[in-house]
Amino acid sequence: MEKNNLMNSRPRVTVASVLERDGKFLLVEEQINHRPVLNQPAGHLELNETLVDAVVRETLEETAWTFAPTHLTGIYRWRNHNADITYVRFCFTGTLLEHDPDRRLDEGIVRASWFTLDELQRSTIPLRSPLVLRCIADYQAGQRYDLNLITEVV
């Protein structure tokens, strides 16, 4: 198997956060291939980083909010057939602690905004993946798993 095919066949591990306040969800508008999309604060797990550390970092970098994860809402596998990439997403929920409105957001992030589910579903900006609504649905259904479910030996 060629190196590129081997790399694309390996799942990419990502983290995301579902954050609700007053019936609205914190999402980011980002530019992907020069087009806007909406996503949860999310990103890739870095080498020697725990999943919890990764979601705290990604949430801060993309929204300027300090995040304290309390639960895992789910683990998701999604195959993006257009890009020939499989993602494994660990989605967390928890508490937002403080916001730094002067913090510069990560490259590619246009803004972080609060959306009701209805506003999100009616938005003219497409979702980055079907995982956005699935993570929210599982969160709204009360799906919560103790963080002790995750065992990491780093």
Per-residue pLDDT tens digits for 45-100: 999 999 999 999 999 999 999 999 999 999 999 998 888 899 999 999 999 999 99
User: Which residues lie closer than 8 Å to 153 by C-beta, 6 or more apart?
Assistant: none
In a domain, 93, yes or no: yes
In a domain, 57, yes or no: yes
In a domain, 105, yes or no: yes
Confidence of residue 10 (pLDDT cuts 50, 70, 90): confident
What domain range is 9 assigned to?
Answer: 3-148
In a domain, 153, yes or no: no
In a domain, 109, yes or no: yes
The structure tokens listed for 85 are 């990439």
In a domain, 118, yes or no: yes
In a domain, 154, yes or no: no
Residue 14: which CATH number? 3.90.79.10
Q: What is the pLDDT of residues 120-152, one digit of tens each?
A: 999 999 999 999 999 999 999 999 999 999 999
In a domain, 116, yes or no: yes
Confidence of residue 27 (pLDDT cuts 50, 70, 90): very high
How many domains are there within the chain?
1
* CA distance linking residue 10 with residue 144, whole number of Å: 27
At 99, which amino acid appears? H
Confidence of residue 1 (pLDDT cuts 50, 70, 90): very low
6-32 burial string, b = 16+ CB within 10 Å, else e?
eeeeeeeebbbbbbeeeeebbbbbbee
